[in-house]
Amino acid sequence: MEDDDLVCLCFRVSQRKLVNYMARERPRVASQLSECLGAGTGCQWCVPFLRRLHAQWERGERPDLPVSPEEYARRRTRYRATGTREPIAGPAGEEYDRPSPAVNDHAPKPVRIPLTQLARGQRAVVDCSELTGLPEGERCLLHAMGLHDQCQVRVCSAGSTCIVQIESTRLGISSEVARRILVTPIEGTDGAP
Ligand code: FES
């Protein structure tokens, strides 16, 4: 991978951002990389790779993943479709991205529920695959307002109009449309207004 290639595709976190984060924050454990723009908190595909980058950094090596971005993305797509991982061998032939017991081949697929089922303050990752039933104009509008696949939302207000926050933008979505937006809840509720 090159520095600007994405390691966490869910949250568009590049290898460069992760390396800079480690140099700046000096994380003691790999899981702290989630504080770098939410890396690893979506579909979890990238978690073993985040561990690999952290281990390389701890050893003083140049963090790098020996896989092309295209291949990496292809394998993630398969992982998301099947829930299983194809191993990617490192330079010495080790299959370093084999999952740990915490992230294993038998792990359940991320739970997806309608956006309308989230409580106020709850955060989630969006899956737009069920929006195909909407007129194209409505889909384009949602996209233009920042609602795209794998973006992260926080519910500001639930009800007949669901108000969600995407980065710094707030968006009102009718319950009819919100029901079609599937989301994977992120643990924890921040309780912010
Ligand atoms: S690719 Fe990083 S959480 Fe999905």
Q: Provide the pLDDT for residue 90.
A: 57
The residue nearest atom 2 of ligand 1, judged by CA position, is: 8
Q: How confident is the model at residue 107 (pLDDT cuts 50, 70, 90)?
A: very low
Please indicate, yes or no, whether residues 70 and 117 belong to a single structural domain of this protein.
Answer: no
Q: Is residue 141 part of a domain?
A: yes
| Alpha carbon of 59 to ligand 1 centroid (Å) | 24
Please indicate, yes or no, whether residues 119 and 177 belong to a single structural domain of this protein.
Answer: yes
Torsion angle, alpha carbons of 67, 72, 78, 80, to 10:
130
Alpha-carbon Rg for the chain, nearest whole angstrom, is: 18
Q: Report the alpha-carbon distance of residue 30 to residue 180 in Å, rounded.
A: 35
Please indicate, yes or no, whether residues 17 and 66 belong to a single structural domain of this protein.
Answer: yes
Q: Report the alpha-carbon distance of residue 116 to residue 63 in Å, rounded.
A: 41
Atom of ligand 1 nearest to the CA of 11: 2
Count of structural domains, the chain: 2
| Alpha carbon of 141 to ligand 1 centroid (Å) | 25
Q: Is residue 64 part of a domain?
A: yes
Q: Is the pLDDT of residue 4 over 50?
A: yes
Q: Is the pLDDT of residue 111 over 80?
A: no
The winner for highest mean pLDDT among 5-9, 38-42, 79-83 is 5-9
Residue of higher predicted confidence among 163 and 186: 163
Residue of higher predicted confidence among 7 and 186: 7
Residue of higher predicted confidence among 132 and 150: 150
Q: Is residue 171 part of a domain?
A: yes
Q: Is residue 90 part of a domain?
A: no
- The pLDDT tens digits of the residues spanning 121-139 come to 888 888 877 676 677 777 7
pTM over 0.75: no
Q: Is the pLDDT of residue 146 over 80?
A: yes
CATH of the domain at 129: 2.30.30.90
Show the domain range for 139: 113-189
Question: Which of 1, 17, 31, 46, when mutated, tests ligand 1's pocket best, judged by the most ligand atoms within 8 Å of its CB?
Answer: 46
Q: Report the alpha-carbon distance of residue 86 to residue 107 in Å, rounded.
A: 15
Q: Provide the pLDDT for residue 20.
A: 94
